[in-house]
Structure 1
Amino acid sequence: MNKSNRGPSDQTIVSGSDFLQLNIRDAPVGRRSDWLAEQLRLAIADRRLPIGSKLPATRVLAVELRVSRGVVTEAYQRLIEDGQAVGRGRNGTIVVAAPAAPPEAPQARPVASPPPGELFAAVPGADVFDSMRATPARIDLSPGTPDLAAFPRSAWLRAERSALASLSASDLGYGDPRGTPALRHAIANWLARNRAIRVDPNDILIVAGTAQTLSLLGQVLRDHGISAVAVEDPGSLGARQHLHNQRLDTPPVRVDSQGVRVDVLRDVAARAVLLTPAHQFPTGVVLSGARRRELMAWASESDGLIIEDDYDAEHRYDRPPVPALRSVLPDHVCYAGSVSKLLAPALRIGWVLVPPKYRDALVAAKRFADLGNAALPQLVLAQLMESGEMERQLRLLRTRHRRRRDTMVDAIRTHIPDAEVHGAAAGLHLMISFDAEFADTDLAAAALARGVKVQPLSWHSQHSPRPGLVLGYAASAPTAIIEGVAILGDVLRHLL
Structure 2
Amino acid sequence: MSRTRTSFGAGELLVELRRDAGVPLHQQLEGGIRERIRQGLLRAETVMPSTRALAEDLGLSRGVVVEAYQQLVAEGYLVSRGGGYTQVADVALVEPGQAQQAKGGPPRIDFKYSRPDVSQFPRAAWLRSIRKVLNETPHMSFAYLDGRGALELRQALADYLNRVRGTAARPENMLICNGFAQGSRLLLQVLAKQGYRRLAVEDPSDNELREVAAAAGLDVVGVPVLESGIDVDGLEQSGADIVLVTAAHQFPTGAVASAETRAALVAWAARRDGLIVEDDYDAEYRYDREPIGAMQGLAPDRVVYAGTASKTLAPGLRLGWLIMPGRLVDAMSAAKVMDDRGSPVLDQLAFADFVARGEFDRHLRRMRPRYRELRDMLVDRLAARVPELVPVGVSAGLHVLTWLPVGLSEAAVTQAALERGLGVYGLASYWMSPPGPAGLVFGYGGLTPKAVAEGIDLLADAVAAIQRG
TM-score scaled by structure 2?
0.75
Relative contact order, higher structure (CA 8 A, sep 6+)? 1
> 3-state DSSP class of the match of 1:330?
coil
Whether 1:240 aligns to 2:210 is yes
**Aligned residue type for 2:442:** L
Kept after mapping to 2: 8 A contact 1:437/1:467: no
Q: Deviations over 1:302-324 (max 9, x none)?
A: 11100000121110000001110
Whether 1:344 aligns to 2:314 is yes
Whether 1:489 aligns to 2:460 is yes
Partner of 2:441: 470
User: Which of residues 109, 118, 133 is equivalent to 1:163?
Assistant: 133
Kept after mapping to 1: 8 A contact 2:111/2:444: yes
Partner of 2:107: 137
Whether 1:480 aligns to 2:451 is yes
Task: Report the Cα offset of residue 154 of structure 1.
Answer: 0.5
CA–CA separation in structure 2 for the residues paired with 1:339 and 1:141: 20
Task: Report the Cα offset of residue 283 of structure 1.
Answer: 0.6
Whether 1:222 aligns to 2:177 is no
CA–CA separation in structure 1 for the residues paired with 2:326 and 2:105: 42
CA–CA separation in structure 1 for the residues paired with 2:435 and 2:460: 23
User: Which of residues 138, 143, 153 is equivalent to 2:123?
Assistant: 153
* Residue segments in structure 2 that go unaligned for 5+ positions in a row: 1-100
**Aligned residue type for 2:425:** Q
Q: Deviations over 1:151-171 (max 9, x none)?
A: 000101111001100122222
CA–CA separation in structure 1 for the residues paired with 2:217 and 2:456: 38
Q: Deviations over 1:210-247 (max 9, x none)?
A: 11111101111111222321000111122323323333
> 3-state DSSP class of the match of 1:199?
coil
Whether 1:457 aligns to 2:466 is no
Q: Deviations over 1:268-295 (max 9, x none)?
A: 0210000000000001110011111211
Whether 1:193 aligns to 2:163 is yes
CA–CA separation in structure 1 for the residues paired with 2:169 and 2:438: 42
Kept after mapping to 2: 8 A contact 1:435/1:466: no
CA–CA separation in structure 2 for the residues paired with 1:489 and 1:466: 20
Task: Report the Cα offset of residue 408 of structure 1.
Answer: 0.5
> 3-state DSSP class of the match of 1:267?
helix
CA–CA separation in structure 2 for the residues paired with 1:139 and 1:403: 18
Task: Report the Cα offset of residue 485 of structure 1.
Answer: 1.1
Partner of 2:151: 181
**Aligned residue type for 1:422:** V
Whether 1:357 aligns to 2:338 is no
Question: Which stretch of structure 1 is more off in the superposition, 191-200 or 281-290?
Answer: 191-200
> 3-state DSSP class of the match of 2:220?
coil
Task: Report the Cα offset of residue 437 of structure 1.
Answer: 3.6
Q: Quick one: percent identity of the two aligned structures? A: 41
CA–CA separation in structure 1 for the residues paired with 2:279 and 2:382: 29
Kept after mapping to 1: 8 A contact 2:383/2:390: no
What are the equivalent positions in structure 2 for 1:27-176 lying under 5 Å apart?
136-176=106-146
Alpha-carbon RMSD: 1.5
What are the equivalent positions in structure 2 for 1:342-491 lying under 5 Å apart?
342-462=312-432, 463-491=434-462
CA–CA separation in structure 2 for the residues paired with 1:246 and 1:416: 43
**Aligned residue type for 2:444:** Y
Q: Count matched residues.
A: 364
CA–CA separation in structure 1 for the residues paired with 2:462 and 2:271: 50
> 3-state DSSP class of the match of 1:250?
strand
Kept after mapping to 2: 8 A contact 1:140/1:453: yes
Kept after mapping to 2: 8 A contact 1:211/1:242: no
Q: Deviations over 1:411-461 (max 9, x none)?
A: 111121111210111000000112214431332233223221122012211
Whether 1:304 aligns to 2:274 is yes
> 3-state DSSP class of the match of 2:137?
coil
CA–CA separation in structure 2 for the residues paired with 1:302 and 1:272: 9
CA–CA separation in structure 2 for the residues paired with 1:135 and 1:182: 43
Kept after mapping to 2: 8 A contact 1:441/1:458: no
Kept after mapping to 1: 8 A contact 2:168/2:300: no
Moved beyond 3 Å, runs of 4+ = none
Q: Judging changes above 3 Å, is the alpha-carbon distance between structure 1 residues 208 and 302 closer, same or farther for their aligned structure 2 residues?
A: same
Task: Report the Cα offset of residue 135 of structure 1.
Answer: 6.0
Whether 1:250 aligns to 2:204 is no
Kept after mapping to 1: 8 A contact 2:404/2:439: yes
Kept after mapping to 1: 8 A contact 2:280/2:294: yes
TM-score scaled by structure 1?
0.71
CA–CA separation in structure 1 for the residues paired with 2:279 and 2:219: 18
Whether 1:331 aligns to 2:301 is yes
